[in-house]
Amino acid sequence: MTDWPAPRADRAVHATVEVPGSKSLTNRLLVLAALADAPSRITAPLRARDTDLMAGALRALGVSVEDSGADWVVAPQRLHGATVDTGLAGTVMRFVPPVAALAHGDTVFDGDEYARSRPMHALLDALRLAGVVVDDGGTGRLPFTVRGTGSVPGGVVELDASASSQFVSALLLAGARFDKGVELRHVGKPVPSQPHIEMTVAVLRRAGVEVDDAVHNRWLVAPGTICAVDSVVEPDLSNAAPFLAAALVTAGEVRIPRWPAATTQAGDALRGLVALMGAEVWLTSEALTVRGTGRIGPLVADLHDVGELTPVLAALCALSDGESRLSGIAHLRGHETDRLAALATELTRLGGDVTQTDDGLTIRPAALHGGRWQSYADHRMATAGALLGLAVDGVLVDDIACTGKTLPDFAGRWLRMLDA
């Protein structure tokens, strides 16, 4: 791995940046298409490590996922046991086990070294309550084996999803194919990332699945057919974060075409968040535009619902002129890395003034200097490092390639934004 010298911006950025498809939508649509009653076409899917791993996992289980130009055509087949590589993808390690439970045969799951530290036990226990045999050697983590019998009883399942909303999404996505459907009841601290659950419910309803989410912390999926539907994937709004933030850092202007007028993506919250930090923001039917005004104000925000935006926002806070307090994000300790520890360590290494709290970060203004920014294989840590490099001489990002988890050719896109 060679260090990547993060380019310094020598002038205001003025660019239009096309952002590829949403990871969260692509991987939900792949799972639903695999469980549907007929083939589906997914147009403009994200092609990145996490979605290639999802396609690979479904293919391993017997599903046909074919390239058709830039689209994917998914044809459901009889599911059989397999070996699944989850990489570091939360969506693969959480969404595929309930699918494997419907397969005929055993499926062995394992992933990157750090994936073995990510929370899984609440989902594995929930699967057991739904009648699935899972062998994890008592660890509650990867690697584990799901012993598929071709059907899942389902029914009432109680789980604690405070560590990840993906536990809920995983069981909802496959739930219609369980004999009794599924009634999920969350017990515990609040579930993070609510928009991601709303996204799951929305894609299920579009596929004709009956979902009742009227009662807080309880979701009911009726047993029935998942209908094949063709879909066009929206741009990944969370992946727009570093580019939009570049407008603030350089007092420039960045435009993201195809920003949806209405969406369940968590990244849509960026519009309000960068406005709170002093940017001018406007949305038309063509694009979202963010203009930096020269001032980056501090951010005091509960990011519980939009935790995946934290690394870039924290980097922006480190460049702001006041004290920022980011809260509601204890669950980030179970993301690609412990993001609270990683951000505190790396910002401090560059001269930042950062304190970890129980559920977030306090970031005070400080003069930053160059240094090596470690990404911990976390795509969003790497893009946060790139953002700091725009304003600080001599920032070296250790592993820019890990951005390929959700965004192909981030480095090329970043340079093109600066050269535009």
Ligand X SMILES: O=C(O)C1=C[C@@H](OP(=O)(O)O)[C@@H](O)[C@H](O)C1
Q: Which stretch binds ligand PEP (CB under 6 A): 9-17, 83-91, 275-283, 314-322?
A: 83-91
The listed partner (ligand PEP, ligand X, none) that binds 196, CB under 5 to 8 Å by sort, is ligand X
Distance between CA atoms of residues 109 and 361, nearest Å: 33
Distances in Å between the alpha carbon of 67 and those of 40, 233, 279?
Answer: 12, 15, 40
The reply on whether position 380 binds ligand PEP by CB under 6 A is: yes
Instruction: Write down the least CB distance from residue 182 to ligand X, Å.
Output: 17
**Closest C-alpha among 395, 388, 386 to residue 318:** 388
Distances in Å between the alpha carbon of 259 and those of 200, 236, 340?
Answer: 20, 9, 29
Instruction: Write down the least CB distance from residue 104 to ligand X, Å.
Output: 27
DSSP secondary structure string for all residues of 30-41: HHHHHTSSS-EE
Is 210 assigned a catalytic role? no
The binder of ligand PEP chosen from 90, 98, 360, 385 (CB under 6 A): 90
The reply on whether position 335 binds ligand PEP by CB under 6 A is: yes
User: Binding residue per annotation — 322?
Assistant: no
Contact 57, 84 (CB under 8 A): yes
Smaller CB separation from ligand PEP, 90 or 154: 90
User: Binding residue per annotation — 280?
Assistant: no
Residue type (1 letter), 258 = R
- Which residues have C-beta within 8 Å of that of residue 66, sequence separation ≥ 6? 72, 73, 74, 75
Distances in Å between the alpha carbon of 132 and those of 59, 105, 141, 148?
Answer: 22, 12, 16, 7
Task: Name the DSSP class of 191.
Answer: P
DSSP secondary structure string for all residues of 242-266: HHHHHHHHHT-EEEEET--SS---G
User: Binding residue per annotation — 24?
Assistant: yes
Instruction: Write down the least CB distance from residue 187 to ligand PEP, Å.
Output: 22
User: Binding residue per annotation — 189?
Assistant: no
Distances in Å between the alpha carbon of 177 and those of 78, 82, 93, 223, 373?
Answer: 13, 19, 19, 6, 45
- Which residues have C-beta within 8 Å of that of residue 263, sequence separation ≥ 6? 234, 237
Catalytic residue among 308, 323, 336, 346: 308
The listed partner (ligand X, ligand PEP, none) that binds 89, CB under 5 to 8 Å by sort, is ligand PEP
User: Binding residue per annotation — 23?
Assistant: yes
Instruction: Write down the least CB distance from residue 173 to ligand X, Å.
Output: 10
User: Binding residue per annotation — 118?
Assistant: yes
The listed partner (ligand PEP, ligand X, none) that binds 193, CB under 5 to 8 Å by sort, is ligand X
Instruction: Point out the annotated binding site for phosphoenolpyruvate.
Output: 23, 90, 118, 166, 339, 380, 405
**Catalytic center residues:** 308
Instruction: Point out the annotated binding site for 3-phosphoshikimate.
Output: 23-24, 28, 164-166, 193, 308, 335
Binding site for ligand PEP (CB under 6 A): 89-91, 308, 335-336, 380, 406
Instruction: Point out the annotated binding site.
Output: 23-24, 28, 90, 118, 164-166, 193, 308, 335, 339, 380, 405
